[in-house]
Amino acid sequence: MNTSGFTIETPRLLLREFREDDAEALFRLNSDPEIMRYTGDTPFTDPASARHFLHHYDDYARNGFGRWAVTRRSDGEFMGFCGLRRDPDSGEVDLAFRLFRKFWASGYATEASSACLQAGFEDFGLAEIVGRAMRENLPSISVLQKLGMKYRDMVEDDGEFWLVYAVGAERFMQRVEG
């Protein structure tokens, strides 16, 4: 895990690169069936598998960005993750967020996601960022819409239907500055 130490601060949050000592919390996050319900991801089998994932996570080195640990500024508590990922095949960059349930419906996902989009456009020069949510996942769809993302497409993957939203740099930055 090669890290440059990139961080993002918001009024309530600190987003930072993953560290191997995040493995236990990441394992717990991905062990909650309600959290994993709309992700399409397979949970880690144990804390060691989460540690292995983090040890080999190379998005920061490859792209300069990736998924970032979301921590609460007031006490440093690990809340989940939020960040960007470049698809190695298409080159498309997507936004994702995943927080422990106790942090749901408090504006944290929107706050973290907005900061990630701003970093993607300002710090990494991205032209467009997409967000995907299973069509049943209304809270995540709401977050994507609050960010100014517009519906682009619906895609089917392994029997699941995903709504794809997108926002370009100019549109997003006008919202932030306006």
Compute mean pLDDT per 10 residues along the chain, 178 residues long, and list them.
75 97 96 94 94 95 96 97 96 97 97 98 97 97 97 95 97 83
Within a domain: 96:
yes
In a domain, 29, yes or no: yes
pLDDT value of residue 160:
93
Q: Is the separation of the CB atoms in 115 and 157 below 8 Å?
A: no
pTM for the structure as a whole = 0.94
Q: In the β-sheet with 160-168, what is the strand arrangement from edge to edge?
A: 7-9, 13-17, 67-72, 78-86, 93-99, 128-134, 160-168, 150-157
How much of the chain, in percent, has pLDDT values that exceed 90? Answer: 93
Report the pLDDT value the prediction gives residue 4, as an integer from 0 to 100. 57
The pLDDT tens digits of the residues spanning 139-173 come to 999 999 999 999 999 999 989 999 999 999 999 98
In a domain, 2, yes or no: no
Task: Name the token pair of 47.
Answer: 């804390």
Structural domains of the chain, count:
1
